[in-house]
Structure 1
């Protein structure tokens, strides 16, 4: 894999995480600051395996953040509807 394509993958991942961070539920966590620190820390990586591992970690963070948002939406929907009378024993 060429250096340019790896750079483009990293930039695309950064943009996706930045967009996802807009809706992060806990403002005190500083999602953008932590993400930026993580990317800056890995800026000088040269070994292809280390770069791949860093990109995989970023993808994992993206998936976990999406799962967190899905869970938040599910919990909100569950609170909006009353418990079903069919599930209660008679």
Structure 2
């Protein structure tokens, strides 16, 4: 077994200790994946498999961090504060949606003004100048 492959397997086991579904679940899935790739002999294919495995380890770490964050957040944030935060977020989303509509109306008005200026309607001296 290549040292990088062994190191990757150890990483899975180390990270799997904190995984929400438990170490046994991670060990079983990692073992299955490693056995599926045991016939790889091409160095490029091995490197590609190791790269994918390292990506999976990073994803596991992300899931673990999210789980820990949600647990701490639920423990130390009162329900009343959560409701206020949700209301603030909803107001922000509504303001953004109405702001986008206002921006679209302003863009349409600017386009109309530029069209009027290019056709000569907006010219102050009444002389239509050719556009470049």
Aligned length: 82
| Runs of 5+ consecutive residues of structure 2 not aligned to the other structure | 89-132
> Greater Rg, structure 1 or structure 2?
2
Of 69, 72, 75 in structure 1, the residue corresponding to residue 67 of structure 2 is 72
Higher percent of residues as helix: 2
Report the equivalent of 1:63. 58
Report the equivalent of 1:50. 45
Normalising by the residue count of structure 2, what TM-score does the alignment of the two structures yield? 0.54
Larger relative contact order (Cα-Cα within 8 Å, sequence gap ≥ 6)? 1
Q: 1:19: Cα distance to partner?
A: 1.5
| Runs of 5+ consecutive residues of structure 1 not aligned to the other structure | none
Normalising by the residue count of structure 1, what TM-score does the alignment of the two structures yield? 0.77
In the TM superposition, structure 1's runs of 4+ consecutive aligned residues that sit over 4 Å from their partners are: 86-89
Report the equivalent of 1:34. 29
**CA RMSD of superposed structures (Å):** 2.3
